[in-house]
Structure 1
Amino acid sequence: MQSQPNQVREILPKYCSILQSCDLFKTFSCNDLDTLLGLLKAEIRHYPKGTTIYAPTKQASRPGLLLSGKAKLIFLDEHNQPVFLRLIEPAQSFGLALTCLDQKQSPAVLQASDDSDVLFLSFDTLLHPDPQKEVDPLLYRFNANLLQQISSQIFLLNQRLRLVCQKRLRDKIRIYLQSLPLQEDQTIILPLNRAELADYLNADRSALSRELSHLASEKILQHDHNQIQILDPSFLETTIK
């Protein structure tokens, strides 16, 4: 069970740099964040590993931001089996569009993969402003960041749709690797373990292992646990003409 909410002001110095690395808060100083989080009625909750943060049976009227740990977002299919959507890491947000739609119930499950601290916000002052009160300038700036963040998440969902529509597993692997940062030494660090990656690609784990072995034998890439070494850079070039 998660802990009771902590006072944000007391914990803000610890997490200020994390918040500023998130697109939602990238334009705010720590002093501005102190005021803004008060306007957004922010609270921090702790979730032990394996704890459910959101679920279809729970109210999900508040968006959140992961401060520490990891969480995974999944859907349950018609047979109640989990379908992995994405991994959420520190400074990444969730539930933004859901809240802006005034959708009170989450269609997905968000589960803590590690012990996690989560910052929850309230958009009531954004969605239902008091016409008798002047809007704080900080909220205008936050609204601009929020619009960019939701647009970015829509783009990621479109990438996900493109991935799951692929018939060949090799193409799914290519599209997924294209979405990750490529380091100067041509390596890519995978944020997912092999089982999570198979779920994300909607593939059988043994089939994924075979395809990675084929790619290695063809000198396209080498894989070692969560690290991919790209041997043939043309593999990451888009296939769209």
Structure 2
Amino acid sequence: MKKIISPLFRGITEMELEQMNTAGYLRQKEYEKNEIIYHMDTKVDEIGILLTGSVNIINTDFLGNSTILSNISAGGVFAETYALVKEPLLVEVVTAENSQILFLNIRRIMEDSSCNQSDWYRKLIDNLLQISMRKNLTLSTRIFCTTPKNIRGRLLTYLTAEYRKQGTSTFEIPFNRQQLADYLNVDRSALSKELGKMKEEGILDFHKNVFRLSQQI
């Protein structure tokens, strides 16, 4: 099986991937944009790995209001915690564009005692731990972004974090305006209005989802 570029398979060889595939632990599926991969309140046994495309992790409340918790791009992993702890999903996983996804049945692997004799098993568990730690950092970032009381504060917190992560004052974000508003938990119209004000004041410039921060930030 061809080597897969993902932190979940770091250090795992093509031969080891083929062993996992032959054992029936892997399957692959293609999805169109805005297709639901995992529904809220369902239990899952498989971890999803993005081969191409991207997905949004979305929380929807009782009244139908949706909030994007995170966006996952190619190589990223989702649903690993739910698959391991056997708890119903509190979120939905929805494609943000046409996507190709590889599923790893982690429950079967954990329940198959012969797996822990394989070289790839230790690598896989180590990689899962690293991914979990990084996602904790991502969750902390979103908490930081929604802590400021006003829209400008939330925008500056988020955009500054993206600037630091990408290492350049001009960068692309993974959200359109509605998705960004959902992520920051603000009204879309108010968000667009505030962005317009910040552009007029020379704080930033933007075109669609590409932003450029001023040196005064």
Change (3 A) 1:58 1:177: same
RMSD (Å) for aligned C-alpha atoms: 2.2
Selected match of 1:32 from 3, 12, 16: 16
In the TM superposition, what are the counterparts of 1:127-138 in structure 2 within 5 Å? Answer: 127-130=110-113, 135-138=117-120
Instruction: Give the structure with the higher percent helix.
Output: 2
Determine if contact 2:198/2:204 at 8 Å carries over to the other structure: yes
Determine if contact 1:53/1:112 at 8 Å carries over to the other structure: yes
Selected match of 1:170 from 138, 152, 157: 152
For 2:115 and 2:179, locate their aligned partners in 1 and report how far apart those are by CA, in whole Å.
Answer: 48
Aligned to 2:201: 218
Instruction: Give the structure with the higher percent strand.
Output: 2
Unmatched tracts of structure 1, length 5 or more:
1-11, 236-241
Please report the TM-score for the alignment, with normalisation by the length of structure 1.
0.80
Amino acid corresponding to residue 159 of structure 1 in structure 2: T
Aligned to 1:87: 71
In the TM superposition, what are the counterparts of 1:115-154 in structure 2 within 5 Å? Answer: 115-130=98-113, 135-154=117-136
Aligned to 2:176: 193
Aligned to 1:238: none
- 1:128 is displaced (CA, Å) by 2.9
Residue by residue over 1:191-228, the C-alpha shift from the partner in whole angstroms, topping out at 9 and shown as x without a partner, is 11112111111111121122212222222211111111
Please report the TM-score for the alignment, with normalisation by the length of structure 2.
0.88
Aligned to 1:50: 34
Aligned to 1:74: 58
Q: Which moved more, 1:117-126 or 1:144-153?
A: 117-126
- The alignment-based identity, stated in percent, is 24
Name the count of aligned residue pairs: 215
Selected match of 2:80 from 80, 96, 99: 96
Residue by residue over 1:118-176, the C-alpha shift from the partner in whole angstroms, topping out at 9 and shown as x without a partner, is 1111123553352x775212110111111000111111112112222221212211222
